[in-house]
Amino acid sequence: MSQPPLSPDAPHPPQDPGGLDSLRRALQPQRTPRHWWVNQNRTWRQEQQGDYIWSPVRSRGGRRNPYYDFMREVGPGDVVLAYHGGRIQRLGIARSFCYDAPKPTEFGSRGDYWEDWGHRVSVRFTPVPRPFRPRDVIERLRPLLPARYSPLQPESGHGLQNLYLTPLSEPLAQVVLELAGVPQAMLAERRFALLAGLGEYDGAAVTGAIESRIEARIREAADLDATTKTSLIEARVGQGEFRARVLQLEGGCRITGVRDPVHLVASHIKPWRACQDGRERLDGHNGLVLAPHADHLFDRGFLSFRDNGEMLVSPLVGPEILSAFHIDPAQRVGHFRDEQAPYLQYHRLHVLRRAM
């Protein structure tokens, strides 16, 4: 028997029998995706073939560089437009947050004056449908260029030599995408495809490989006895002598107040892989004991502290996450010891995911 027609006010049958739309909604980033412009000059081939962007932490002479600091604000799903050879040539979708990583060996002699350690973001690059030279359309772009951190010289439309990564406003990004022939539908599909298969991808494979190489060198070191080697290796995962030292100094989680060590994680403030020597890796002042959810935020650079106990929260963490974790960003967790200050400074500078 035929069914009566639905009235305009009647509920409609589901239009997503396969659940794809529901999956899309679930995979929408908790933060609004941002747009970035990256100048890839001498290392463009290595970065695009390797699907990443990399910068040193500081410029020559140890100076802060805002175009390197911006790396710490990139998040999964962000759009990265790659400029090299005077053209916008590639579209990238960020697959990770920024993580610390050594200078890629494939750079060879390029960037010999750069630091050996820096910021890296995994990005999936594909050619844009219509590469273009910004200088050919500078009349259209000029009104949208910002006064600070512009990707182009406003008069000529040429790229800037000292620029690596800079954010684009939404209006400027939309014009650049239009000129490159990238329709919004294509952009949404590529972002969705990447996020759907992303899982937990934030550089863990890269940093894990780095730590494994360090651990291998420790095992092979002729000047270390077996007990010291075991302590250093156990410290990598917050166990053994390192954990005991941190627990003795800290006593409990500064955020939650939990003091039962069964429910606490000991981890380094200055990451194990970044420590200069065994002393730093085993120093109890280079550690905190935190509840697992707080340790996740601190270890991944979503949260840090000033020396006076003031909490610093990355802008990449939405308020809904903090609320679900019962973390108050206005909380003061107590003054840290003088011996902890250098390690906390390193964490704020190199681990916390934000431009300082």
Residues counted in the chain = 356
Q: What is the Cα–Cα distance from 34 to 315, expressed in whole angstroms?
A: 12
Decide if 167 contacts 149 (C-beta within 8 A).
yes
Task: Check residue 20 and give its pLDDT.
Answer: 42
Residue matched to tokens 């006064």: 147
Task: Check residue 166 and give its pLDDT.
Answer: 96
Task: Check residue 137 and give its pLDDT.
Answer: 96
Task: Check residue 356 and give its pLDDT.
Answer: 43
Point out the residues of the chain with pLDDT beneath 50. Answer: 1-29, 198-201, 356
Task: Check residue 173 and give its pLDDT.
Answer: 95
DSSP 338: G
Q: Which of 334, 272, 282 is nearest to 309 (CA)?
A: 334
pTM across the whole model: 0.67
| Tokens describing residue 22 | 């529901």
Q: What is the Cα–Cα distance from 272 to 73, expressed in whole angstroms?
A: 23
